[in-house]
Structure 1
Amino acid sequence: MNYSINLFGYHVDCKLNVEEDRLQLDIAEEDQKSLKQYLIRVLPKYGREASQTSTLDELVKLAIDAEKTMEGHMSEPKLKLPYEFQPEIKEKLIEAAALQDMSATQLLIRIIERKYQEVMG
């Protein structure tokens, strides 16, 4: 089953597999790379050191530690975009974001991260 989950304030698409009362979560490699970049960007906000050389395992452990020490969950930094969209583009972005239960800014960041991974990957 395809499903979207919120890990440390970041929405990730995954596949849920249930076999013999065991739940397994499978996240595509591209989404894992995006999650890693997100954690590198967000963890310093929560007092955790993260760098491009950190492994996903290290980053997830830091994120779990950060959430254990705070009241609530981590969240993506809010960004004020320095430019305006055409009204029809903005409406499409907001509609697409609402369908995925995330903010328009989060969706835009996700799109940019995926394109970056595609070009640089």
Structure 2
Amino acid sequence: MKYMINLFGYNVDCEIKVNNNGLSIEIPEENQHALKQYLIRVLPKYGREASHDSPLEMLVDLAIEAERTLDGRMVEPKLKLPYEFQPEIKEKLIEAAALQDMSATQLLIRIIEKKYQKVMGQ
């Protein structure tokens, strides 16, 4: 069944599978790539070195290590985008973000990342 989980302050779409032997979570490749980009952006804020050459497994290990030293969860750096929308577009953006339990800025970043990956063929 499809489900959204929050990993290190980032909402990731995944598929949860339950079988006789246990529970497994599968994250589609495009969502793994988006999570990797997020971790590359966020980990330096928590004193961890991350680069585009770093494998996802290493980034996840660094994120787990960072969260263990925190009192809470990692969060995406706050960013104010200088944008203006028509009121009805802004309302749709805010509503869509609320349904996904994220800020409008986070949703915009996610949309831009997905479009960039599509255009750049990544």
Query: Structure 1 length as normaliser, TM-score?
Result: 0.97
Aligned to 1:63: 63
The one-letter code sitting in structure 2 at the alignment partner of 1:4 is M
The one-letter code sitting in structure 2 at the alignment partner of 1:107 is L
Aligned to 1:49: 49
* Shift of residue 103, structure 1, vs aligned partner: 1.2
* Partner Cα distance (2:102, 2:32) in 1: 18
Q: How many residues align?
A: 121
* Shift of residue 58, structure 1, vs aligned partner: 0.6
| Larger RCO, structure (CA 8 Å, separation 6 or more) | 1
Deviations 1:70-96 (A, max 9, x none): 111000111101121211111000111
Greater shift after overlay, 1-10 or 95-104? 95-104
Runs of 4+ off more than 2 Å: none
* Shift of residue 105, structure 1, vs aligned partner: 1.1
Give 5+ residue unaligned stretches, structure 2.
Answer: none
Query: Structure 2 length as normaliser, TM-score?
Result: 0.96
* Partner Cα distance (1:12, 1:45) in 2: 20
* Partner Cα distance (1:79, 1:86) in 2: 20
- The DSSP-based 3-state class of the residue aligned with 1:17 is strand
